[in-house]
Chains A and B, each alone.
Chain A
């Protein structure tokens, strides 16, 4: 268990460093960010592997959730929806509201790319939640609970938020960048098998104990981090006043979305280079 706590802490610290690198003088330092991302991945792997062993909580309820997600996955094969999702990453400064939400999706894709396993999981979730309204609503509800999940929570929670937004956003996509798209497809396919169980269990457990999860699973740390990042970053970009200290789920979600923008810089930096 202590490994899990340690890994979680290191992940939070790493995310903080990636965020701070964006505002540092002299531009983003490729070497340091590369090292931080390696640490982030190592910590994530340890964290998830640890979670794995202690994850079999609600077997019965899990099954039901798994069926839903399985169905979704079948309906929306990764390749197609991924490509639709991919957006240009070079425009993080869109401030208009409708575009912002689409951009959160875009940023979501960007976030995925720089966290190896995280990538595919998110994409699968997003794929499943993308086009069809009804299915999206179901999965969004389940996924909304995952906001409070500590694992991969920035990305996941943002995802949940995306899904709860009007579906119209899901339809209006800009043409993807082909090479980025293909890369995501590859990574999604590669880790699909490995990550789907994780996602299932996550959905399951979150659905099982919504409110309790929020408190028990030590989400506050990461959520706090997210809100702090989100608010300060939003101050830079859109002047939206998401309060940093707010624990309310709504603002937490908004901040999580904005956190995605913060997670974006690394991949933005990479792609920009």
Chain B
């Protein structure tokens, strides 16, 4: 009935409650406000979102008040900055969208925070730092910055730091440009904390965080003759612990695991994960719905999860011929594929995520529904992110979709689903049962119910 085990133990079922919602309330959604990526940092203290307008908004969790355990920590805006601007490629006469495709945090090494954000063509490393002191008492400058007349200086003093209102600054430290001919779909920071990969439709590049003018191409699936193109890369990720291992998924529903120790160019995979197609499900759209939209390693590095249009699959890295678990996200859509093709919904790229202890996975659906799939208890639940359930600490009620036949009370029929309300991006706090769910232009934060 409910999803989400407390990370670190406990077998109690938890209930999810509304915590916060960010973003404009009105139904008229400005295209620039459409959220395109959501990511917690490694501690979970910071939550970053990117949108179609190229902006990044970072929320920070308030320090919990230990004396009041009932008081939940809330996420408030910490920093907002324009990461990418629209560009124009003059050679190809193409506009490059400023939409942020992915954000990935770097593990924290000092007081500042670093994240990578990318649009279709350019990856940027941003430093987010706090400033809460400023120097005062310069000898040669006034407080407002104007230079003093040297003749008027009769004494010397030592400038001192004085406290000021907290200011959070975001500055671009590196710009990794011109590495990709095709549209970047993934970035992934390596566990060595020095390199990261970026993947576009046909190539994967390996970058060093310090070096912007060159990158290594590690995977290239571009055919010599583009007319022979049959598949593209859809997502890629580094293994969480093994810095030599990464995986990439394809539009044909396969996942390839590559070991960078094997050769410089990883066109030959070390492992190929593929499930044979079920011939009874063959249709015009079989190829589209088998295209993998997201791949994520589990935190422990033993499994990986893939999301295709209708299902979530968990793969054991040691077994290539089939997934160990398969969950149907919205099987009731299988009979509607033609309509979904017409309205382009079949091309929607849903993401998926693991909870902190890899016992539950989450992914989005339509009608602002999202699904929690409990692996250990073999249960699943459908919840909804809606403005109707926005009272503080309101418990989310499980939703049910009626595929056909008689609709029971409280069920919603497939034809009533709103396909414009889609949840493509979700994120799970690395340690706690706090989830961030992005609807079109709102970010919902749900937390585990605390009794």
Contacts and interface: CB of A to CB of B under 8 A. Distances in A.
Contact of B182 (A13, A30, A39): A30
B341 A39 contact: yes
A10 to B, nearest CB: 6
A25 B183 contact: no
B226 A26 contact: no
B307 to A, nearest CB: 15
Nearest to A114: B227
B229 A35 contact: no
B409 interface: no
Interface residues of A, number: 29
Q: How large is the interface on B (under 10, 10 to 19, 20 to 34, 35 or more residues)?
A: 35 or more
A38 B341 CA distance: 13
Contact of A43 (B183, B284, B288): B284
Interface in B324-367: 338, 341-342, 344, 347
A34 B229 contact: yes
Nearest to B347: A32
A27 B94 CA distance: 6
Contacts of B99: 26
A31 B221 CA distance: 13
Q: In terms of DSSP, what is the predominant structure of the interface of chain B?
A: loop
A272 B232 contact: no
Interface in A259-273: 267, 270-273
A30 B232 contact: yes
Contact of A10 (B97, B341, B344): B341
A273 B341 contact: no
A46 interface: yes
A170 to B, nearest CB: 24
A113 interface: yes
Interface in B200-242: 201-202, 224-232, 234
Contacts of A31: 183, 185, 201, 232, 234, 251, 291
Interface in A63-93: none
A6 B224 CA distance: 35
Contact of B225 (A27, A35, A179): A179
Contacts of B89: 27
A113 B227 contact: yes
A58 interface: no
Contact of B97 (A25, A43, A272): A25
B227 A267 contact: yes
Interface in B405-440: none
Nearest to B183: A29
A183 interface: yes
Nearest to B228: A183
A176 to B, nearest CB: 14
Given A30-B182, A32-B347, A39 B227 contact: no
A273 B284 contact: no
A35 B287 contact: yes
B284 A42 contact: yes
B251 A35 contact: yes
Interface in B93-147: 94-97, 99, 120
A46 B285 CA distance: 13
A66 to B, nearest CB: 30
A202 to B, nearest CB: 23
Contacts of B284: 7, 10, 39, 42-43, 46
Contact of A30 (B201, B225, B227, B228): B201
Contacts of A6: 338
A42 B338 CA distance: 13
Contacts of A46: 284
B94 A34 contact: no
Nearest to A113: B227
Contacts of B181: 273
B347 A35 contact: yes
A273 B338 contact: no
A34 B140 CA distance: 64
Contacts of A113: 227
A273 B342 contact: no
A180 B96 CA distance: 28
Interface string A150-161: 000000000000
B95 to A, nearest CB: 6
A10 B283 CA distance: 12
B92 interface: yes
A273 B182 contact: yes
Interface string B276-289: 00000000110110
A27 B182 CA distance: 10
A225 to B, nearest CB: 14
Interface in B63-116: 89, 92, 94-97, 99
B156 to A, nearest CB: 58
A32 B226 CA distance: 15
A114 B230 CA distance: 12
Contacts of A42: 284, 287
Contacts of A43: 284
7 contacts: A10-B338, A13-B342, A31-B234, A34-B230, A38-B287, A38-B288, A183-B228
Interface of A: 6-7, 10, 13, 17, 25-27, 29-32, 34-35, 38-39, 42-43, 46, 113-114, 179-180, 183, 267, 270-273
- Please name the 9 residue pairs, one residue from A and one from B, whose CB atoms are nearest each other, closest first: A26-B97, A27-B94, A270-B226, A30-B201, A38-B287, A35-B288, A31-B232, A42-B284, A113-B227
Given A113-B227, A114-B227, 20 more contacts: A10-B284, A10-B341, A13-B342, A26-B96, A26-B97, A27-B92, A30-B183, A30-B202, A31-B201, A31-B251, A31-B291, A35-B287, A38-B288, A39-B288, A42-B284, A179-B224, A183-B227, A270-B226, A271-B227, A273-B181
